[in-house]
């Protein structure tokens, strides 16, 4: 099935918890490496074979322990390319298995040289608790991973009964999945195909290369429950979107803060609360007016979030406006509550 959405809605709401005002997945993202066999031109993390950024395995073990204590039930391993560290994945899988936690991996599938090799590895990981593969393929990835190799991964996953979420991004007038695989072949997988977001390496592409929706400002709110995600350098972000790795929404650092403190930071972050409830379409035009700049077109809500996060002046201004707005929103809420109570008291 192909979901032509701007941002995948692949999160299962039942697999999330409400903390304060935010809905948060029970999956904790752990980006154990920033090394990758590829250097895709849309990579939000600037991953490459030369990048040696890593979370040491002892640190991952500590995080998994805290995650278990906090109530997370699943770890989402991502990178970089996690399968470059296959032995470490097996070690971490064993720890998760002991804790009765499951895990997912994000991969570009480079290692699926043939179906049998892929099945052997998938079965090994599955026996430790692998439940979903988040597999990425598109025109940018195809420069480094052959469509045939990626197809092996999809076939092997199906034969091993491991669920696949296929994530794919396209430039305007660029190739789409249908240019590599038939619809009939893809029908057995959950496919999320969406325009490339202008983040990371994609910022080097000319603005005309991106596909924009009709509205200049993306309508809608932050599109998913939040998924706290620990980057390879220890910094923690509230989501695993390609647009989510900005200073504005950094919510802690696992090297200095406990996971409990970090979860408290998410809960108390008014910016996150606001964009989950209201999105950007009301405040951004006002701030552009106040600061006297012209708003660019945005690919999606996440693209707008990235724009804010990458512009400290805009981020600081929007946070001030949100504080003011939420104060009056709260006062109005309390007034309404008092009024409602009065009416109920009078009617008794
Ligand atoms: S997009 Fe994925 S496969 Fe491509 S360089 Fe980045 S981490 Fe590697
Ligand atoms: S809107 Fe921001 S916080 Fe929400 S998913 Fe997108 S990048 Fe993450």
Span 86-130, pLDDT tens digits:
999 999 999 999 999 999 999 999 999 999 999 999 999 999 999
**Ligand 2 centre from 243 Cα, in Å?**
7
Please tell me the distance from the alpha carbon of residue 272 to that of residue 291, in angstroms, as a whole number.
22
Please tell me the distance from the alpha carbon of residue 128 to that of residue 87, in angstroms, as a whole number.
13
Ligand 1 atom closest to the Cα of residue 42 is 1
Q: Which residue has the tokens 């092996």?
A: 152
pTM: 0.89
The β-bridge relationship of strands 102-107 and 74-78 is parallel
- DSSP letters, 142-200, are HTTS-HHHHHHHHHHHHHTT-EEEEEEEE-TT---GGGTS-HHHHTTSEEEEEEPPS-G
CB of 129 sitting under 6 A from ligand 1 = no
Q: State the pLDDT at residue 338.
A: 81
Phi, psi of 189 (to 5 degrees): -120, 155
> How high is the mean pLDDT of the chain?
90
Please tell me the distance from the alpha carbon of residue 74 to that of residue 72, in angstroms, as a whole number.
6
Q: State the pLDDT at residue 232.
A: 97
**Average of pLDDT values for 285-305?**
92
**Average of pLDDT values for 226-248?**
94
Please tell me the distance from the alpha carbon of residue 167 to that of residue 158, in angstroms, as a whole number.
16
Q: Which residue has the tokens 């929103």?
A: 329
Joined together, the tokens standing for residue 163 give 């669920």
Buried/exposed code over 195-206 (b: 16+ C-beta within 10 A; e: otherwise)? bbbbbbbbeeee
Q: State the pLDDT at residue 18.
A: 62
Q: State the pLDDT at residue 328.
A: 81
Q: If you take atom 4 of ligand 2, which residue's CA is the nearest one?
A: 222
Residue among 194, 273, 278, 302 whose CB has most ligand 2 atoms within 8 A, to mutate? 302
Q: State the pLDDT at residue 94.
A: 98
Q: Return the minimum-mean-pLDDT range out of 4-8, 48-52, 177-181, 276-280.
A: 4-8
Q: Of 268 and 4, which is predicted with more confidence?
A: 268
Q: Is the pLDDT confidence value at 2 over 80?
A: no
| Environment class of 148 (CB within 10 Å of its CB; exposed 0-12, middle 13-18, buried 19+) | exposed
**Average of pLDDT values for 269-273?**
92
DSSP 8-class letter at 83: G
- Give 24-55 pLDDT, tens digit per residue: 788 999 999 999 999 999 999 999 999 999 99
Do residues 38 and 109 lie in contact, with contact meaning Cβ atoms separated by under 8 Å? no
Q: If you take atom 7 of ligand 2, which residue's CA is the nearest one?
A: 244
Q: Is the pLDDT confidence value at 174 over 60?
A: yes
Q: Is the pLDDT confidence value at 305 over 60?
A: yes
pLDDT-derived band at 22, boundaries 50, 70, 90: low
pLDDT-derived band at 21, boundaries 50, 70, 90: low
Secondary structure of 119-134 as H, E, C letters:
HHHHHHHHHHCEEEEE
pLDDT-derived band at 13, boundaries 50, 70, 90: very low
**Average of pLDDT values for 150-174?**
97
Q: State the pLDDT at residue 137.
A: 98
- How distant, in Å, are the alpha carbons of 120, 233, 328 from that of 113? 12, 30, 59
Q: State the pLDDT at residue 258.
A: 95
Q: State the pLDDT at residue 65.
A: 97
Residue among 192, 305, 314 whose CB has most ligand 2 atoms within 8 A, to mutate? 305
Ligand 2 atom closest to the Cα of residue 275 is 1
**Average of pLDDT values for 237-262?**
94
Percentage of the chain with pLDDT > 70? 93
Phi, psi of 152 (to 5 degrees): -55, -40
Q: State the pLDDT at residue 3.
A: 36
Q: Is the pLDDT confidence value at 333 over 80?
A: no
CB of 43 sitting under 6 A from ligand 1 = yes
pLDDT-derived band at 342, boundaries 50, 70, 90: confident
Do residues 89 and 39 lie in contact, with contact meaning Cβ atoms separated by under 8 Å? no
- Ligand 2 surroundings by CB, under 6 angstroms: 222-224, 238-239, 241, 243-244, 249, 275, 301-302, 305
- DSSP letters, 1-51, are -EE--SS-----GGGEEEETTEEEESEEEEE-B-B-S---TT-TT--BTT-
Q: Whose atoms come closest to the Cα of 134: which ligand?
A: 1
Q: State the pLDDT at residue 335.
A: 78
């Amino acid at each position: 099935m192909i979901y032509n959405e701007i941002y995948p809605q692949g999160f299962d709401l039942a697999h999330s918890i409400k903390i304060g005002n935010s809905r948060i997945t029970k999956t904790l993202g752990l980006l154990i490496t920033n090394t990758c066999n590829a250097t895709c031109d849309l990579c939000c993390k600037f991953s490459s074979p030369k990048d040696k950024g890593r979370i040491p395995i002892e640190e991952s073990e500590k995080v998994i322990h805290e995650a278990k204590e906090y109530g997370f039930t699943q770890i989402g391993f991502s990178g970089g390319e996690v399968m470059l560290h296959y032995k470490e994945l097996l070690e971490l899988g064993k720890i998760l298995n002991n804790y009765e936690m499951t895990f997912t991996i994000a991969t570009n599938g480079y290692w699926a040289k043939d179906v049998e090799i892929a099945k052997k590895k998938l079965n090994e990981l599955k026996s430790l608790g692998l439940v979903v593969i988040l597999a990425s393929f598109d025109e940018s990835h195809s420069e480094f991973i052959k469509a045939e190799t990626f197809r092996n991964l999809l076939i092997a996953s199906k034969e091993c009964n491991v669920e696949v979420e296929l994530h794919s991004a396209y430039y305007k007038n660029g190739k789409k999945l249908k240019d590599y695989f038939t619809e009939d072949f893809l029908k057995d997988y959950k496919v999320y195909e969406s325009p490339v977001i202008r983040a990371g390496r994609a910022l080097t592409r000319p603005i005309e290369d991106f596909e924009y929706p009709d509205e200049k400002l993306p309508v809608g709110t932050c599109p998913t429950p939040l998924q706290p995600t620990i980057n390879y350098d220890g910094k923690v972000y509230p989501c695993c979107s390609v647009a989510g790795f900005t200073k504005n929404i950094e919510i802690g650092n696992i090297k200095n803060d406990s996971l409990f403190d970090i979860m408290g930071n998410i809960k108390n972050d008014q910016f996150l609360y606001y964009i989950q409830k209201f999105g950007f379409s009301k405040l951004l035009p006002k701030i552009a007016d106040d600061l006297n700049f012209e708003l660019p077109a945005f690919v999606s809500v996440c693209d707008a979030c990235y724009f804010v996060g990458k512009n400290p002046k805009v981020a600081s201004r929007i946070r001030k406006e949100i504080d003011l707005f939420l104060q009056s929103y709260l006062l109005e809420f309390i007034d309404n509550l008092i009024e409602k109570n009065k009416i109920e008291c009078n009617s008794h």
